[in-house]
Amino acid sequence: MEREHFRILLTVCVALFVSSYVESQLINSTSPPVPPEVETHSVEPDLNKSVLLSNISLPITRLTQKPDPFEDNVCQLPKIVGPCEASISRYYFDPKSGRCELFSYGGCQGNGNNFLTLRECQRRCTCSMPEDSGLCRANFRRFFYNPINGRCEEFRYGGCGGNSNNFMSLDECQETCIQDTPAKDVCKQDRDTGPCRASVPRYYFDSSCQCCKKFIYGGCDGNGNNFQTVRQCLNKCKGKAVLNN
């Protein structure tokens, strides 16, 4: 009886062992294989390929930039009095204020931003500035000189900012910027001392008396009825007499 019992237990143990072994083999057979060891490499640029790519000709679109009217222009040069000690009234264009202003020239050296007359400075610098309506939003009728077609044209001024190529009337624009303006237009202008505070003796033509009169010019702006000498005033406007004002 004991032998029979032992035989049964042995059979059960063997069966359990075989079952466990078979199950483990089935699990191993369905698992994904372990991948081999992966090699790692640092990625570095291929210089040979870079050279080849740099030699490929690609179409390049060039942007056409609007030329600056003041590029390589004497109007952008600084005011230079020069090393000499004379005191000669000249005019220069101040890029900051956008105006032609009076200064005392020493008489030697200096640069091209040095004009004998206000009109010469304005024609070279003021009249070449672009149309500028300014920063504000008013709607004033003004005129500017268009250097492309050589004409004075109407535009709308906002009321602040802008530049000095900005004239109250068509006549004023033409007299300032157009060289062949008839002399009679200049001689009909009123005396204009300008906004600056210098004290420069000048002469203007008074159309009411048909004579040249002396006045004190402030040194900047003003108009074309402004002469350095009596003779210039008489020759330009055919004045008959000179009166001190």
Dist CA 189 CA 226 (whole Å): 10
pLDDT of residue 207: 86
Same domain, 203 and 161: no
How many helices (H) and strands (E) the chain has is answered by 6, 7
Band (pLDDT 50/70/90 cuts) for residue 17 is low
Dist CA 93 CA 91 (whole Å): 7
Strand partners, 203: 214, 227
What mean pLDDT do residues 75-91 have?
A: 92
| Residue 29 counted as domain residue | no
Dist CA 168 CA 134 (whole Å): 15
Dist CA 31 CA 28 (whole Å): 5
Structure confidence by residue, pLDDT tens digits, 146-186: 988 889 999 999 999 999 999 999 989 998 898 765 545 68
Our count of domains for the chain comes to 3
| Residue 24 counted as domain residue | no
Structure confidence by residue, pLDDT tens digits, 31-81: 455 444 444 444 444 444 444 434 444 343 333 333 344 444 899 999 999
Picking from 49, 45, 93, 43, the residue whose alpha carbon sits closest to that of residue 69 is: 93
Between residues 74 and 18, the one the model is more confident about: 74
Q: What is the CATH number of the domain that holds 149?
A: 4.10.410.10
Residue 208 has pLDDT above 60, yes or no: yes
Same domain, 189 and 173: no
| Residue 233 counted as domain residue | yes
Report the SS3 class of residue 26. Answer: helix
Residue 25 has pLDDT above 80, yes or no: no
Between residues 29 and 210, the one the model is more confident about: 210
**Amino acid type, 46:** D
Residue 202 has pLDDT above 60, yes or no: yes
Domain extent for 103: 75-124
Same domain, 173 and 147: yes
| Residue 46 counted as domain residue | no
> Where does 59-140 have alpha helices with state H?
118-124
* Torsion angle of the four alpha carbons 233, 236, 238, 243, in this order, in degrees rounded to the nearest 10: -10
Task: Evaluate whether 165 touches 132 at the Cβ level (below 8 Å).
Answer: yes
| Residue 82 counted as domain residue | yes
Same domain, 202 and 222: yes
pLDDT of residue 6: 63
Q: Which two tokens stand for residue 132?
A: 């500028």
Query: Which stretch of 13-22, 71-80, 114-123, 182-191 has the lowest confidence by average pLDDT?
Result: 13-22
Q: Is this model's pTM higher than 0.85 or not? A: no
| Residue 139 counted as domain residue | yes
